[in-house]
Amino acid sequence: MPRHISLLVSMLAAQPVWMERPRRRHLNGRTTEESVLLALCVVGALAVAPFIILRLLRGDWLLAGIDASLVVGVAILATYVWTTRRVRNASIVLTVFYLSLMVLVVHIDGMQSIYWAYPSMAAAYFIVRPKEAAALNILAMLALIPVISQAMAPISSIGLIITLATSNLFSFIFALRTIQHREQLTALASRDPLTGAGNRRSLQERLQEVIAIKERQKENVSVVVVDLDHFKIVNDTFGHGVGDEVLMRIAEIIRARIRITDGLYRLGGDEFAVVLMSANLTVASRFAEQIRKLIFDANLLPQHRITVSLGAAELQPRETAESLMERADVALYEAKHNGRNQTKINTDIST
């Protein structure tokens, strides 16, 4: 059993399972999260299987039974992930399962297996969330105390328990720092550094999500594209620094008007897009007009009136993200060609 735990730890060290984002898919249609857990189950089962035979040849029936239960459990877990694609539940079950077997083996095999508690507990922080891993590891340590206290002198047993607790503390801190670093990297990859709005990449991801929501729940979703009028004049006349300040102020105005379920994205330059959930074309048009008037009345530059043109389109059944954005752009171009500082909607429902 300890050898098996060591193998699991070495696999998990490459990438924490619980940190993967489910929407990232491979060519086989499986998420990275699913692929990692399925590979872990397969390799783990193949690695454990030979030890069942070795233990049976030595007449160690009890430990052979534990090894066999691990293989069967992992096979059931892999089948569950393959059929349901619910990795979150499977990760928790896997952690509880192998920690329980680790404790059981220590109780049966004695202190010669106690040192595998360290990698076993560390592995938990790579599979489930830090607080969950800490809670499960505390329970595992409590279950190990009777064996430790009986087999070792008081000072030695206290020292071993303290080292287990310290290793858990370090692993917990490492997991939290990993979360922070990942969030920072995600922000850099998905956020516009100037305005804090999502970038074009995050917009594409969000549109894929809302399209799936539209198919399942028939929820109304609309997109509003916002483009500053004659913004080149602002940059050329007042400088790019002033232009950046205007963009940040406009992002603040829009962000203050959207709900937590909506999203603001900068497409590049002076163009923004807003994804409105539970909003039909009428709601989107009303929202766009509110934004237009707020920006017009904000007097962002006393020397130069800042205005915006807007285009709105509602997501249609079986429509693609590209088609939706194209229709919103068509409405935006119409607003610009008709004199700017206005909102146009795209009522074309053909996809």
Beta strands 343-346 and 271-277, pairing class: unpaired
CA 268 – CA 200 distance, rounded (Å): 8
Task: Tell me if 276 sits within 8 A of 258, measured CB to CB.
Answer: yes
CA 245 – CA 119 distance, rounded (Å): 51
Beta strands 271-277 and 263-268, pairing class: antiparallel
Both tokens of residue 304? 């130069």
CA 307 – CA 284 distance, rounded (Å): 19
Both tokens of residue 97? 């399962």
Q: Name the active-site residue from 229, 270, 297, 329.
A: 270
| Catalytic-residue membership of 270 | yes
Angstrom CA distances, 87 to 11, 19, 93, 224, stand at 17, 11, 10, 35
Query: Going edge to edge, which strands form the sheet with 343-346?
Result: 263-268, 271-277, 221-228, 308-314, 343-346
**Residues with active-site annotation:** 270
